């Protein structure tokens, strides 16, 4: 499996393509917006979209979902159902963040801790990591030691917990009990900003010590 990152929206959210090299199938993670750029790259790479995966319900992560399924008619998997209230409130999120209105969508499969998600010949492990939002999940590809963590953990920082139903202690528990045990050598793609490894954050990130 390999990956491509496309920063989208005014928040430079890391929309991520997980690409199965064997099948040319792609899972699009967190299509927050700027959908034409995402489609352009998919076309340029000659990929076939199999699924949309969502880490959590914030607008900058899900705002382009409806537009993308209009084009590809693929299932939407994730986040955990505890984030349904965020997805149901897309209109309010658009107003709150000053985005143009976007269409709503229905999640086809809500995910639970330790579920697996497949695309092409790849299997991703789902970890429920609440705190930034109550239904936040991350997608781990064990064979490549790569995890897409959304807004749970960043290079040098951690997710905000001042939104409705955010919880700082839950976030720390998610990072320490779910993410870090995956191993120091695991690379992660955060929802915003540059990549890092879990080991680098474990040793240097002052927010989790």
Which spans of this chain sit near Zn ion (rule: CB under 5 A)?
Answer: 58, 60, 151, 191
User: Whole-number minimum distance, CB 91 to Zn ion, in Å?
Assistant: 17
- Nearest-approach distance from CB 187 to Zn ion, in angstroms: 19
Q: Which is nearer to Zn ion, 97 or 110 (CB)?
A: 97
CB of 119 to Zn ion, least distance (A): 22
Q: Rounded to the nearest whole angstrom, what is the least distance from the CB of residue 158 to Zn ion in the complex?
A: 12
Query: Which residue, 151 or 201, has its beta carbon nearer to Zn ion?
Result: 151
Report in angstroms how near the CB of residue 36 gets to Zn ion at its nearest. Answer: 20
Q: Among residues 120 and 131, whose Cβ is nearest to Zn ion? A: 131
Which of residues 73 and 169 has its CB atom nearest to Zn ion in the complex?
169
- Dig out the tokens for 196 from the structure: 């890092």
Whichever of 63 and 191 has its CB closer to Zn ion, that residue is 191
């Amino acid at each position: 499996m390999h990956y491509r990152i496309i920063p989208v929206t005014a928040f430079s959210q890391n929309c991520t393509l997980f690409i199965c090299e064997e099948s040319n199938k792609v899972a699009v993670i967190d299509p927050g917006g700027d959908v034409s750029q995402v489609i352009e790259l998919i076309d340029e790479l000659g990929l076939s979209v199999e699924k949309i995966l969502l880490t959590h319900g914030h607008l900058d992560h899900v705002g382009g979902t409806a537009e993308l399924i209009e084009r590809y008619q693929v299932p939407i998997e994730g986040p955990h159902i505890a984030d349904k209230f965020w997805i149901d409130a897309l209109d309010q999120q658009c107003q709150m963040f000053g985005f143009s209105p976007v269409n709503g969508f229905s999640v086809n499969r809500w995910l639970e801790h330790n579920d697996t998600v497949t695309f092409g010949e790849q299997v991703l492990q789902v970890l429920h990591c609440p705190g930034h939002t109550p239904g936040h999940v991350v997608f781990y590809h064990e064979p490549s030691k790569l995890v897409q963590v959304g807004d749970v953990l960043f290079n040098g920082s951690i997710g905000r917990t001042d939104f409705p139903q955010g919880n700082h202690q839950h976030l720390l528990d998610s990072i320490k009990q779910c993410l870090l045990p995956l191993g120091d050598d695991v690379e992660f793609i955060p929802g915003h900003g540059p990549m890092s490894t879990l080991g680098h954050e474990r040793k240097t990130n002052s927010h989790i010590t």
